Amino acid sequence: MTSTKEADRQLDAQLLVRIASGDEVAFGALYDRFSPGLYSFILKMVRDEKEAEDVLQEGFAHIWRRASTYDPARSSAFTWAVMILRNKAIDRLRVRQRIERTMEKATVEFSHFAEADEVSAGEAERREDGALVRSALKEIPEEQKQAVELAFFGGLTHEQIAEKLGAPLGTIKARIRRGLLKLRDFLKEAA
């Protein structure tokens, strides 16, 4: 890991320690650091700006209440926050019974986002992490990438992905496993 990233991780972890003690300034600072990335990601999941705002609000309220449970040995603060907000988004998707519609539209939606990504590529490439992960995804076979993205952004279970793609469950598990391992290897190598 680069020293800049390590310093960032330490700073984020420090902010969470301070948030756990009720420090509003630290909370505002963490919001400023994380909210652009988290909002973009949640919007990609729920595909509705109002809903993305609600998820962001719920997620940050959760971070405020549960900052003391963050364990830096387990993950970076950003990863911890991503997983909190992703769970909130999945809850909403499920509660509102959007999963089926999401499954039906997933192919179209993901191709749409691929186009949007191209449009915003110039901006994204200025963000080191985004550019890095994009590069990694290009190295991953399309079928593995599709399965990983459906699981992560679509919030679909492996069984739902298998059904949607018409592939055996074991095949989907293998694609996701291989895709994630390759992504992990690429990111480790880049770090």
Partner 1 sequence: MIDEHQQDLASEYALGALDAGTIRAFEAELAANPELRALTGELREAAAALAHTAPRKLPPPELRQRILSEIRAEAAASKPASSAPVRSGGFGILPWALAAGFAVSTAAFWYERNELQKEAASLLTETQDLRGRDALARMRIATLAAQVDAYSKATAVIVWDPQNQRGIVKLANLPRAEAGKDYQLWVIDPKYPNPVNGGILPVGEDGIARVAFTPDQPVKKVAKFAISVEPAGGVPKATGPIVMIGD
Question: Binding of partner 1 at residue 171 (CB under 8 A)?
Answer: no
Pick from 117, 141, 142, 168 the residue near partner 1 by CB under 8 A: 117
Residue whose CB is less far from partner 1, 137 or 167: 137
For the CB of residue 99, give the shortest distance to partner 1 in the complex, in Å. Answer: 13
Spatial contact of 20 and 63, defined as CB atoms under 8 Å apart: no
Q: Using the rule CB under 8 A, is 69 a contact of partner 1?
A: no
- When asked if residue 90 is in the footprint of partner 1 (CB under 8 A), the reply is yes
Question: Pick from 82, 93, 106, 165: which binds partner 1 (CB under 8 A)?
Answer: 82
Q: Residue 13 CB: number of other CB atoms within 10 A?
A: 16
- Least distance in angstroms from the C-beta of 79 to partner 1: 4
Asked whether position 162 contacts partner 1 by CB under 8 A, the answer is no
What x-and-dash track marks residues 10-49 binding partner 1 by CB under 8 A?
Answer: xx--x---x--xxxxxxxxx-xxx-xxxxxxx-xx-----
Site for partner 1 in 48-67 (CB under 8 A): 52-53, 56-57, 60-61, 64-65
Contact assessment for residue 95 and residue 51, using Cβ atoms and an 8 Å cutoff: no
What three-state secondary structure class fits 125? coil
**Residue in 46, 149, 164, 165 binding partner 1, rule: CB under 8 A:** 149
Tokens 């691929």 -> residue: 114
Q: How far is 71 from 74, CA to CA, in rounded Å?
A: 6
Cα–Cα distance, 155 to 99 (Å, whole number): 8
**Angle, nearest 10°, between helix axes 158-165 and 142-152?**
130
How many residues sit close enough to partner 1 to count as binding (CB under 8 A)? Answer: 81
Min CB(83)–partner 1 separation in Å = 6
Chain Cα centroid distance, residue 88: 12
CA-closest candidate to residue 76, choices 12, 17, 153: 12
